[in-house]
Structure 1
Amino acid sequence: MSMTDPEHVARHWFSKGLHELGHAEQRLLDRLAKRKLVSEDVNAVFRSDLTFGERLADNVSRFGGSWTFIIVFAVILMLWTGVNSFVLKHPFDPYPYIFLNLMLSMLAAVQAPVIMMSQNRQASMDRLDAANDYKVNLKAEIEIMGLHDKLDQIRTDQLAALLMKQQEQIDLLMKLVADDDARKQGD
């Protein structure tokens, strides 16, 4: 099948007109006609468009969800309580550590939205990745259907050739039988 007429190709593979297809399907048919790749490195494309704030949010989220953060944070909390409870005669934040609670609340108030921003971006990247997977799978499916069509055409051509050869053999046998009958009648 020729991939030059997009309308014909759309009707053949999607059973829809070209104008009825979505943008992804139209773009896929265009790339198929030009024999171009449809897959993209969506991670590279997505990361190339990130702003400084978005990259910072991703780094904060990555660090905030690491064992390094948990260990460093635990050490700081132990030092804070140790210094304010046992080392200093006049602690700057005595028990019940009100200033520490204020700092922890402020950290949580800033860290939660930053992590959510990073997760929202990850969800957007996952959607791009899924769209790319769809395009690649759709192209593979069309290519497989095209191979099936080609195999069916080869089988049809071979069957037609076989039938023609059989007909030639039948015609030859009929001629031999007719010649044999004519020879027997002449005897």
Structure 2
Amino acid sequence: MADSPQRLDVPRGSSSRFGSFLRFNPDAVGQFAESIARFLGTGRFLAVQTLVVLVWIGLNVFAVKLRWDPYPFILLNLAFSTQAAYAAPLILLAQNRQADRDRVQAEEDRARAAQTRADTEYVARELAALRVAIGELATRDFIRGELNRMSSDDGEDADRREKKAKKKRDPVG
């Protein structure tokens, strides 16, 4: 029986027994971390934790028969250390996910701003071109004057027609 050649395009550890067991969905873990981080940052969490600590200390100081953690409160310190050991990485993971979302949002904002700027510059160029084109157009009065001047045989006749046209346009003056 010939051994099959080792594949170089597959990582060596991918076929291990523990590799498939320890695979997690990064989004599910991230969402869980964010929900924990959101809960840890609330007043409700602080109130519940304070109440639990006060009950813990009260029972261990005053209830002689129920003492499971005498005065230095080693077990309570262990519980706080465990909580901190899990809370800190979860909070950091939530912050990293928020930073990634902020980065994506900033890139989208930059792209939108660049598009808006390009659109604004295009409209400004079009408006400038329209202004130039309008400035070169002959007005109605200019065309009338030119037609009157060309059609008149003498200058006096043209002046009279121009005065009549002016009176038609402005009957008050």
TM range (shorter): 0.5 to 0.7
- Out of 46, 49, 54, the residue aligned to residue 30 of structure 2 is 54
**2:133 corresponds to which residue?**
157
The alignment-based identity, stated in percent, is 29
CA shift in 2, pair 1:157/1:89, >3 Å:
same
CA shift in 2, pair 1:53/1:176, >3 Å:
same
Q: Cα offset for 1:125?
A: 0.5
The amino acid that maps onto 1:175 is M
- Confirm whether residue 111 of structure 1 aligns to residue 87 of structure 2: yes
- Out of 78, 85, 92, the residue aligned to residue 102 of structure 1 is 78
- Structure 2 counterpart SS, 1:58: helix
CA shift in 2, pair 1:109/1:50, >3 Å:
closer
CA shift in 2, pair 1:96/1:181, >3 Å:
closer
Q: Cα offset for 1:89?
A: 2.5
User: Computing the radius of gyration over CA atoms, which structure comes out larger, 1 or 2?
Assistant: 2
The TM-score, its normalising length taken from structure 1, stands at: 0.63
2 CA distance for matches of 1:174 and 1:154? 30
- Out of 75, 80, 88, the residue aligned to residue 51 of structure 2 is 75
- Confirm whether residue 126 of structure 1 aligns to residue 102 of structure 2: yes
**1:84 corresponds to which residue?**
60
- Confirm whether residue 147 of structure 1 aligns to residue 117 of structure 2: no
Q: Cα offset for 1:81?
A: 0.4
CA shift in 2, pair 1:50/1:143, >3 Å:
farther
**1:13 corresponds to which residue?**
none
Instruction: Give every structure 1 segment of 4 or more consecutive aligned residues whose post-TM-superposition deviation is greater than 4 Å.
Output: none
- Number of residue equivalences: 133
Flag structure 2 segments of 5+ consecutive residues without an equivalent. 1-24, 158-173
Q: Are 2:149 and 2:155, in contact at CA under 8 Å, matched by a contact in 1? A: no
- Confirm whether residue 180 of structure 1 aligns to residue 139 of structure 2: no
The amino acid that maps onto 2:147 is L
Superposition pairs for residues 7-26 of structure 1, below 5 Å? none
Which structure would you say has the larger RCO, counting Cα contacts within 8 Å and 6 or more residues apart?
Answer: 1
Flag structure 1 segments of 5+ consecutive residues without an equivalent. 1-48
Root-mean-square deviation over aligned CA pairs: 2.4
Q: Cα offset for 1:88?
A: 3.4
**1:29 corresponds to which residue?**
none
CA shift in 2, pair 1:167/1:155, >3 Å:
same
